[in-house]
């Protein structure tokens, strides 16, 4: 069985990656390493920088994810600063920023980078939706309790993991990664 290490401190991301990559026989372990997450304009820049650091540290086959919630009426905020905004403002703070605003359109992007057998792969998955007017649900993590994906009437936090992964930004990015690995002849 092929093994990859997910560079994250986020247990929610680890569960999602394990769930999806198990389908092709890839075992995902968690790895915490001293990887500097630069401040950049795009998720892709952050991910590429982290992959180069992982290679320099000879961490082996690794996968990492940088995700962001981009709220239209807030000019894309929190975007690449989503992890910081989640820690400092939380879902409640985001809801306060949108209080009284009619435009609640948003999107979640997930940029996944992988260094597998010395080859770098970078893919991005996106899901459009809206920000709820109140937190709903107990599942998920991050901004999941306030994000309602397109064509749904419940938040990510109200969904079971399999249902969320089937439509989410990260689930889409993971499937793009799997397609890239398959196209490159990767076998578990």
Q: In 10 A of CB 1, how many CB atoms?
A: 7
Helix extents (H) in the chain: 11-21, 43-56, 82-88, 90-98, 161-167, 169-183
Cα–Cα dist 150/173, whole Å: 17
DSSP element (H, E) containing 152 = none
CA distance 37 to 33: 11
**What's the order of all strands across the beta sheet hosting 119-131?**
26-31, 2-7, 62-71, 105-116, 119-131, 147-149
Identify the active-site residue in 61, 65, 66, 117: 66
Query: Tokens at residue 163, please?
Result: 């249902």
| 99 a catalytic residue | no
Task: Catalogue the active-site residues.
Answer: 66
């Amino acid at each position: 069985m092929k093994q990859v290490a997910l560079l994250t401190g986020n247990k929610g991301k680890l569960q999602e990656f394990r769930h999806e990559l198990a389908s092709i026989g890839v075992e995902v372990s968690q790895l915490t390493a001293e990887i500097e997450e630069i401040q950049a304009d795009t998720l892709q820049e952050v991910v590429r920088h982290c992959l180069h650091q992982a290679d320099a540290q000879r961490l082996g086959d690794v996968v990492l994810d940088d995700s962001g919630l981009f709220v239209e009426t807030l000019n894309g905020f929190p975007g690449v600063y989503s992890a910081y905004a989640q820690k400092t403002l939380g879902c409640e703070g985001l809801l306060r920023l949108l209080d009284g605003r009619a435009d609640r359109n948003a999107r979640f992007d997930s940029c996944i980078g992988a260094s597998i057998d010395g080859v770098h792969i970078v893919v991005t998955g996106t899901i459009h939706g809206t920000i709820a007017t109140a937190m709903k649900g107990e599942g998920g993590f991050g901004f999941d309790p306030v994000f309602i994906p397109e064509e749904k009437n419940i938040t990510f936090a109200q969904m079971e993991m399999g249902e969320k992964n089937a439509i989410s930004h990260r689930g889409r990015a993971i499937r793009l990664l799997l397609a890239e690995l398959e196209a490159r002849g990767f076998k578990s």
